[in-house]
Amino acid sequence: MKYFRSMKVLLIISICLFVVTFSIGFLTGDYLQLIGSQDQLEKPDPGMGLTFDLFVNNLFVCLILMSGIFLFSIPTFFLLMLNGFFLGTGVKSLLLIGLDIQEVLLKLLPHAIFEVVGFLISASIGLLGLTFYFNSKKELTFIKKGLISVFFLILAAAFIEGFITAAL
C-alpha cells in the first residue's frame, strides 16, 4: 500500500488521462463506429494459446508505456491516450450494434480490472521520465516493485481473458 501512496500523483495523472480519452472515445463512438454488426464479431477459442498471445501483447503494451521513462514520457502519454480512446470507441460500437450494457460489462470487466490497472501502473512508471534523470536512485525501487506488479496483473488478466472471458 505504501508503494501506491508514493506514486499517487503519477497514478492520478494516468487515471485522468485514461478516463478523459475513454470518455472522448465513447462520445465520438457514434461517428467512428468500429464494428458494423454482431456478425463481424469473432469469438476466439479459449485456451492456453489465446492466453499466451494476450499476455505477450499486453506485456508489450506495458513495456511501451514504461519506455517513457527514457523518452521524457512522450510514448506514455501517446499510448495511454490511444488506449483510452479506442476502448471508449470500442465499447460504444458494441452498444451501437445491439449488445446490452450487461453483456459488454460481462465480457470486459473480469479481465479489464487487472489489465487496465497494469496499464495504469506501467504508465505511472513511464511518467517518471519527467523526473527520472534527476532522482533516479530513489525511483529504482519504485520501478522494480512496479514491474513485478505489472507482470502479475497482466498475467492474471491474460488468464481470465483467455479462459473465462473468451468462453462467454
Per-residue pLDDT tens over the stretch 54-99: 999 999 999 999 999 888 889 999 999 999 999 999 898 888 888 8
Instruction: Output DSSP code: residue 68.
Output: G
Instruction: Give the helix ranges, DSSP H, for 29-100.
Output: 48-66, 74-96
Domain ranges of the chain: 2-34+45-167
- Taking the alpha carbons at both ends of the chain, their separation in whole angstroms is 33
Q: Nearest CA to 26 among 118, 102, 94?
A: 94
Q: Does the pLDDT value for residue 8 go beyond 70?
A: yes
The label of the residue with cell 503494451 reads: 61
